[in-house]
Amino acid sequence: MSQLPSGTVTFLFTDIEGSTGLWQQNQKAMTAALARHDDILRGTIQTEGGYVFKTIGDAFCAAFATAPEAVRAVLSAQRALIAESWPETGPLRVRMALHTGAAQERDGDYFGPPLNRVARLLSTGHGGQVLLSLATQELVRDNLTDNCTLKHLGDHRLRDLVRAETVAQLVHPDLPSEFPPLKSLDNLPNNLPVQLTSFVGREKELEEIKKQFVTTRLLTLAGIGGIGKTRLELQVGADLLEEFPDGVWFVDLQALTDSNLVGQAVATVLGVREQPNRPVLTSLVDHAQNKTLLVLLDNCEQLMDGCARVTDALLKGCPKVKILATSRERLGIAGETLRNVSTLTAPGPSDLPPAQNMEQYDAVKLFIERARAVQPDFQITNENAPAVAQICWRLDGIALAIELAAARVRMLTPEQIVQRLDDRFRLLTGGSRTAMPRQQTLRQLIDWSYNLLSEPERLMFGRLAIFAGGWTLEAAEAVCGGDGIESWEVFDLLTSLVDKSLVSVSEVDGNKQTRYRLLETIRQYAREKLESSMDAEKARGRHREFFLQLAERAGTQLAGPEQGSWLQRLEIEHDNLRSVLEWTVINDVSLAVRLARAIWRFWELRGHWREGLGWVEQCLSGKIALTPDLRAAALDAAGNLAACQGDSARAKTLFEEQLALQEQLGDERGIADALHNLGAVAWRHGDYGQARANEEKGLAIRRKLGDKSAIATSLHALGTYAQDQNDLERAAAFYQEALAIRRDLGDLRSIASVLNNMGTMPQDDVEKMRAVHEESLAIRRKIGDKAGISQSLTNLAVLAEEHGDFRRAHALLEEGLAIDRELGNKKGVAASLRNYGELMQLQGEFAKALIFYQQSLTLFQELRDKLGITACIEGFAMLAGLQSESNRAAQMFGIADAFRGSLGTGQPVSFSSTEYDRQVAATRAQLDKEAFTTAWSEGRGMSTEQAIAFALEKL
């Protein structure tokens, strides 16, 4: 069949009994036999309308639209296998299992509980046997033909540990009918408890743990409470039953408080009687020394000494005994393998999949299943999927927390649950009444772990809550040391909290730096403990001081050779910086301005313009007045961030206030800086007269002060303004004077910047232009100015593009784009993508050009960069015109005209006026006057959102 069956599906799972031994005996013969086996199974399955959706080794997984088709397929397959001659391997005995249920199909595979159920059913069977679940029996019992009957084998507990399954065997005269008892939990030695809910997710983790038992005899599953260690441990035990003929034995230690009773608890489970005058541990070892069994020790953390003693004795005295333990931390004995149990996978807020694919995440899968237990018709929809994702994400994928949240679906919608998660410890109550108290509410669960900590560990735990988004060891030492914790103790206490699974560890920045974090749920709890202590304000103060120093250190490096690494470090610490700003904008605005002044260029380069401007404007509008010098600094940062967004009107207002304040202070240097800022704003609006006037006033002040670097800055700006007005002789004079000063000062960064502009001046000597850009690029490479390198590469690419060297232009743009991506410079990435679009357009590759323009526009839209958006709209307009889509082109040109008007410029943003005007004229000529005017007006009348949607609608 061409498509996978959907809805209610009957699943067939098969495998060959004893295949491992057959491979070891004769690999060549087994290769040929397996090929014939595969042909038989595939052929019989397909003949009956089945679909083989997976093969793993010698195992087949198939799906059928109806149960009778599946029964006919297995009957045909078993007959064919029996009839086949297997001269070298002997008969292949294949066991088969059928189960019917509703599963989710995705990317040619199936997911969901029915798959686990049929796999567990198969594991109970024997080679040559065909087993049917009750669901499948009900669908075929009245449709059995060809002398088939069903032999009822009774109710059996499968290894998914939930409800028993009523199992039947397919019987036919041509098939063997007598088999040993099923290998179910009822027929194998164990005391694994019945579970009321199914095991969800963790398939990969489950398989990895089972493989680890090949090479270790003691495996400890470590993790925070509620993460699902016990359920995972039980499932591992169920899956390994066949490997331990003397049984799998579960020892629940959660109710014990005395370490000396651990040996007695294990002995009781294994049926070892206590003998007078004989240590129970000795009797236990004697009993198990020749047995092959698996002991599951659960909840070891409060009984570490006793668990370590018993485990060590069993490992040394019983060579065939293996132990699987769960604990908050390692047992700490020889031969132990530690495995940290991860939280369940959950979709992040920014990578939400379609509703039908949400169950690829284990946390969502668990939420859905537990929600259906209280509301059977619960479904994931496009409407509630974001809320469910938020719940799973904000609860850190902690299994117990998700189960408690899902139980609230009976009374609350997922959206309402999200709204209440800020008070999660009140919301997430009402667990099973039969569970231990600490498993009934999220708070009690974390209380359990907290109460096991020593006093120094509790103090450290509370202080770590001050960090947002994680921390480094350096930060922990600075913030957590003092007042009861010596600096040398910090590392040991942090290590202890990691060992107890309260703190998680990861490596970032190419594995160069270790980073620590608290899960947000744990952090909220720790923060409550911190706030209820006398320690909170001191911890906040140390946190503020550390990150303010870090920011100011970074601010001096953002223009240096380590720019990339400092940008990355600030990005990683952005949540901590936000946390400092949240407090300081209300309580100490002068510190907030210091911090904002230090990192505003980080906000600029990483595209956090709107957020950065928001923080600075809070400083400016706060109740606490700023000193004039700090207010001027805040106005400067805010104006530049507003300009980054293309909000020239807002930038002008801010810079005008900056100028007035500096004049009030009589700060001539500050006055010149404000005039320079205002000149830049006027230039962006196309008001070259005002731009020049502002800059010339500033230049006069700077000459008076003798500030050579600032003089060169003004000359550079005046050169730019003259160049844009095509006054090339005047521009060249300004550039040459600025360059001479920069060379005299040895300011390589500024030399490269002036050369960069000089290289863009129109002239016939292409080689001279290229040489200027190459010198600029060489300087920038020397000083490690990555953002500048990207800019120089772009200029060289444009030069190559204008002279038809498209291959070189492509290579240069590619290198520049890679640098911008490395820096996280979203604006640079967006500009490079737009340049790529123009290059593809020139080469006539219009489809590729369209894609690059779309990617660029999407980024500029995210950044709210009006100038960049306008540049992309112009690209769309030019592209539509070149493809003779005249009406669309006229509309796009109208949009671009309106956007330029809002920016205060009449000139094209990204194309030469000659080239742009030529395409507008060509579009006008292709339409009659009324049609062109109408289309142009329609474009001009669109809002920004409508215009962007219109530009992207064909993609």
For 864-894, give the DSSP string. Answer: T-HHHHHHHHHHHHHHHHHTT-HHHHHHHHH
Q: What is the residue whose two structure tokens read 């209300």?
A: 586
Rounded distance, CA 284 to CA 286, Å? 5
Rounded distance, CA 60 to CA 64, Å? 13
Q: Which two tokens mark 406?
A: 């899902």
Tell me what pLDDT residue 434 has: 44
Q: What is residue 55's three-state secondary structure?
A: strand
Best CA proximity match to 606, nearest among 641, 647, 633: 641
Q: Provide the 10 A C-beta neighbour count for residue 511.
A: 8
Report the helix count and the strand count for the chain, using DSSP H and E: 42, 16
Q: What is the residue whose two structure tokens read 């960049």?
A: 868
**What is each CA distance from 774 to 93, 251, 753, 767, 770, in whole angstroms?**
74, 73, 12, 10, 6
Cβ atoms of 718 and 700 within 8 Å: the answer is: no
Q: What is residue 562's three-state secondary structure?
A: coil
Cβ atoms of 592 and 816 within 8 Å: the answer is: no
Q: Where are the extended beta strands (E) located within 2-65? A: 8-16, 51-56, 59-64
Residues in the chain predicted with pLDDT less than 50, given as ranges, are 1, 431-440, 510-511, 955
Rounded distance, CA 871 to CA 878, Å? 11
**What is each CA distance from 132 to 62, 74, 154, 184, 669, in whole angstroms?**
15, 11, 12, 14, 88
Rounded distance, CA 450 to CA 455, Å? 10
| DSSP H or E run through 551 | helix 536-555
Cβ atoms of 311 and 321 within 8 Å: the answer is: no
β-bridge mates for residue 13, sequence order: 61, 97
Q: Which two tokens mark 480?
A: 């957590």
Rounded distance, CA 388 to CA 412, Å? 12
Cβ atoms of 430 and 556 within 8 Å: the answer is: no
Q: Which two tokens mark 683?
A: 């230039």
Q: Which residues of 762-772 are buried (b: 16+ CB within 10 A; e: fewer)?
A: eeeeeeebbeb
Cβ atoms of 368 and 391 within 8 Å: the answer is: no
In sequence order, what are the residues at sequence separation of 6 or more whose Cβ sits closer than 8 angstroms to the Cβ of residue 533? 462
Rounded distance, CA 125 to CA 133, Å? 12
Rounded distance, CA 277 to CA 862, Å? 77
Ramachandran assignment for 13, one of left (phi > 0), alpha (psi -120 to 50 degrees), beta (any other): beta
Q: Provide the 10 A C-beta neighbour count for residue 174.
A: 11
Q: What is residue 564's three-state secondary structure?
A: helix
CA-CA-CA-CA dihedral for 855, 860, 862, 864, to nearest 10: -160
How far out from the chain centre does Cα 551 lie?
A: 26
Rounded distance, CA 426 to CA 443, Å? 8
Best CA proximity match to 598, nearest among 639, 631, 549: 549
Rounded distance, CA 868 to CA 260, Å? 71
Tell me what pLDDT residue 733 has: 86
Cβ atoms of 526 and 464 within 8 Å: the answer is: yes
Residue type, 102: A
How far out from the chain centre does Cα 719 lie?
A: 46
Rounded distance, CA 179 to CA 728, Å? 97
List the Cα angle 169/170/174 in 5-degree steps. 130
Rounded distance, CA 898 to CA 894, Å? 6
Q: What is residue 774's three-state secondary structure?
A: helix
N residues, the chain: 955
* Long-range contacts at 474-480 (CB < 8 A, ≥ 24 apart): 475/546, 475/547, 475/576, 476/516, 478/542, 478/545, 478/546, 479/539, 479/542, 479/543, 479/546, 480/539, 480/542
Cβ atoms of 141 and 150 within 8 Å: the answer is: yes
Rounded distance, CA 531 to CA 524, Å? 10
Tell me what pLDDT residue 433 has: 44
**What is each CA distance from 573 to 376, 566, 567, 675, in whole angstroms?**
43, 10, 10, 34
Tell me what pLDDT residue 228 has: 82
Tell me what pLDDT residue 693 has: 93
Q: What is residue 369's three-state secondary structure?
A: helix
List the Cα angle 663/667/671 in 5-degree steps. 60
Strand pairing class (130-132; 94-102)? parallel
**What is the DSSP code string of 164-224?**
-EEEEEEE-TTS----PPP-STTTSSB-PPP-SS---S-HHHHHHHHHHTTT-SEEEEE--
